[in-house]
Amino acid sequence: MTRTAAATRPVRRPSAVRALTALLALTAAATVVVELLNWRYAPEQGFPLAVRTGWALLRSLGFLILIWHVRRGRAGSRPLGLILALTTVFAVGRLIVPRNGVPPLPGVLGFAVLTALCAAVVLLLYRSPAVGGYLTRHPGRLVIDRQGISWREGAPQRPQVAGWLLTTRVAAFTYSPLMLVPCLVAVGAIVDGRLIAVPLVVLWFVAGIAVSYAVMLSTFFLLRGRRWARGLLVAVTLAALTVDLPLCWLLLGADGLIRDGAPLVAAAAVALYGLRRADRPAAGAVPADPVTAR
């Protein structure tokens, strides 16, 4: 049971929403179990695997945050769930394949189960009418009016395609961590005595931080209908790929390019696809005011 600022009557969550909440909790637990299995059966339990495993384990916390948003009916739950499910599959999948030989059977079975759970999460989020009808609320904000000071739900003034813009925004916010994780893995090259890698690692780290601020700036104006923000976000996406993929190749080799570059490529593809879909007017949508879209 939950209450909203706009209504005092309790709102009962649909059965599909309760099922989604349980599925998310199960997926969070499965993420931890699969990562522990991968660590247990990994032939090399070195620093790179520890960093990648720790990053993948953070997905369990992400699913708990998603549960919080779903229980409160937040409209941003859909894009968050999509990106979380997609990056979880990539983060776990890149760990079960060893450098040599075949992956262990427990890890493969665990990855298959986790992939099925993530797919079920996405299907419920995007294909269930009950879930879609429930996830319509927006974060609250402080409102000052004649009645005094109150905390109310604040629906943003956005076009009907805001769902795809939110998906683009969430996907773009993963650029920075997806760059910083392999950067941290590359620190192992410095520890191993490859001091020539120091400038490249520093450049990688600075680029990862800069991308986070650039994404924050571009998506802020993107959700407010500024056309130029779309071009800026595309430029940031291409810049992130241009910096990250060659450095993965140079410092981590082909194995690192696949393990650490592929998740960023997937996130960039989702962001650009969402941006393209947002350009398509929704059926029955009213054209945006050209003055506010500048």
Mean of all residue pLDDT scores within the chain: 79
Distance separating alpha carbons of residues 9 and 2, to the nearest angstrom: 9
- For the whole prediction, is pTM greater than 0.75? no
Is the pLDDT confidence value at 156 over 60? no
Question: Residues with Cβ < 8 Å from 21, sequence gap 6 or more?
Answer: 13, 67, 70, 71
Residue 150 structure tokens: 């109150």
Please count the other Cβ atoms lying within 10 Å of the Cβ belonging to residue 99.
8
| Terminal alpha carbon distance of the chain | 42
**What is the enclosing helix (H) or strand (E) of 274?**
helix 262-279
**What is the enclosing helix (H) or strand (E) of 89?**
helix 77-96
Q: Which residue stretches of 173-226 are H helix?
A: 175-191, 198-222
Distance separating alpha carbons of residues 168 and 246, to the nearest angstrom: 24
Residue 30 structure tokens: 């499965």
Under 8 Å between Cβ of 33 and 107: no
Residue 11 structure tokens: 């709102």
Is the pLDDT confidence value at 292 over 50? no
DSSP 25-61: HHHHHHHHHHHHHHHHH-S--SHHHHHHHHHHHHHHH
Q: Model confidence over 194-246: pLDDT tens digits?
A: 777 788 999 999 999 999 999 999 998 988 888 899 999 999 999 999 999 99
Averaged pLDDT for residues 69-91: 85
Q: Model confidence over 94-152: pLDDT tens digits?
A: 667 666 667 777 778 888 999 999 999 999 998 889 988 888 776 555 555 566 665 55
User: Which residue has 């005094």 as its token pair?
Assistant: 148
Is the pLDDT confidence value at 281 over 60? no
Residue 189 structure tokens: 């090259």
Under 8 Å between Cβ of 103 and 96: yes
Virtual CA dihedral for 193, 246, 249, 233, nearest 10 degrees?
Answer: 110
- What 3-state class would DSSP assign to 241? helix
